[in-house]
Structure 1
Amino acid sequence: MNKGKILVVDDDRLVLATLAYGLAQAGYDVLDADNGDDAILLAREHRPELALLDIRMEGLSGFDVAAYLRDHLRVPFLFLSAFSDDETIAKVRALGALAYLVKPLDMQQIVPAVEAAFAHRPQPQDLTPVPLAPTVATAPSPVLDQQVVAIAVGVLMHRYSLSRGAALERLKKLSEAENRELAEQALRLVEAVELLAQPANVK
């Protein structure tokens, strides 16, 4: 029986594979990503009910992903990290994580924590997503624009093995070539990637 859909994010692929396999065996529908940029794209496309996030990753951190999930998709989350310093704990609390698990942990500890998080997550009616793109009646948000640009830069980094600076420069050149605002060009890129990621409708 499917217990729910969970997004698992960790830049250590061995840890990621272990988590994904263990949670799938426990009855969850698992989406997995090894970086924050892909995690956000997966979350926007598949709308998980819960996310399990590593914190320190190249590019967007687990904190960045958590803030996006909370503010724009209303997806609750918990953290899994090797770090337990006061600053990290304070940030975890400020973001509103359902739980904070300190590595190393085995699946016998993680599965009960995930089950408890599912049991205490907000109800579906409280998870109404906020659109990424500004609507006609809404003025563009500078913070929202920055998040879209960050996602697009991350996409370019991972797709073309670029540094963050080189990816941003490429995005700027694309926007200049098409005479578009940087955030608009970033949104077009993100939407194009999402479109390509959707399965073909084969009858």
Structure 2
Amino acid sequence: MADKGKILVVDDDRLVLATVAHGLAQAGYDVIDADNGDDAILLARQHKPDLALLDIRMEGKSGFDVAAYLREYLHTPFMFLSAFADDETVQQVRALGAVAYLVKPLDIGQIVPTVEAAFANLPSRAVPAPARPQQAVNDAVADTVALAVGVLMHRYSLPRGVAFERLQKLAADDGRTLADQAERLVEAVELLARGQG
């Protein structure tokens, strides 16, 4: 099977790492894996993956540290795979601009479609021009919509396309823009998370 793209998978839980790496390789991706943040950065510099799938809480460098490096120096898109969905974590995921946020436990059947959707939406591998103010606004809106879709996927066990359609329908039913509806949904989740803290 031809490689669909190169993915860096990082998780300090070796069982999770092996399971995800194997599942993505079976799905046709070229997988590089690391069980800590320092190795992840070295491998990313060496192999220039198209996408990174990062655990958040690890010894040493966290997934957030790795993501910041990937964004800043390699312009590599990334998604998070984490057992945590608290307010602070969600805020950091948004701030870093992850293309998706998956909450464990997950099986590979849920991860592969999300990875495929992320690859379908990847810009060309050219180094992006510095963001203009309007571009930064557009990126922030896209990040919020992606996060809202992720919330709906997780909450209702939906595939990404169905979750996106549901978000569009919610927006239409309420007479709001997609971005506004996404923002309201994400804020609601953050409020709920704060209430549980």
Shorter-normalised TM range: 0.5 to 0.7
Q: Which residue of 1 aligns with 2:4?
A: 3
The answer to whether the 8 Å contact 1:73/1:127 transfers is no
2-structure distance, mates of 1:127, 1:58? 31
2-structure distance, mates of 1:127, 1:42? 22
2:56 aligns to what SS in structure 1?
A: coil
Kindly report which structure 2 residues correspond to 1:7-86, keeping only aligned pairs within 5 A, or say none.
7-86=8-87
Unaligned stretches of 5+ residues in structure 1: 129-203
The aligned amino acid for 1:90 is Q
2:126 aligns to what SS in structure 1?
A: helix
- Please report how far the alpha carbon of residue 13 of structure 1 lies from its aligned counterpart in structure 2 after TM superposition: 0.3
% identical equivalent positions: 77
Q: Which residue of 2 aligns with 1:104?
A: 105
2-structure distance, mates of 1:74, 1:121? 11
- Please report how far the alpha carbon of residue 126 of structure 1 lies from its aligned counterpart in structure 2 after TM superposition: 3.1
- Please report how far the alpha carbon of residue 123 of structure 1 lies from its aligned counterpart in structure 2 after TM superposition: 1.6
2-structure distance, mates of 1:125, 1:68? 17
2-structure distance, mates of 1:44, 1:90? 27
CA RMSD, 1 decimal: 1.1
Kindly report which structure 2 residues correspond to 1:120-131, keeping only aligned pairs within 5 A, or say none.
120-126=121-127
TM superposition score normalised by structure 1: 0.62
The aligned amino acid for 1:20 is A
Change (3 A) 1:73 1:123: same
The aligned amino acid for 1:110 is I
- Please report how far the alpha carbon of residue 122 of structure 1 lies from its aligned counterpart in structure 2 after TM superposition: 2.6
Aligned residues: 128
2-structure distance, mates of 1:113, 1:126? 24
State the 4+ residue runs in structure 1 displaced beyond 6 angstroms.
none
2-structure distance, mates of 1:127, 1:119? 17
1:92 aligns to what SS in structure 2?
A: helix
Unaligned stretches of 5+ residues in structure 2: 130-197
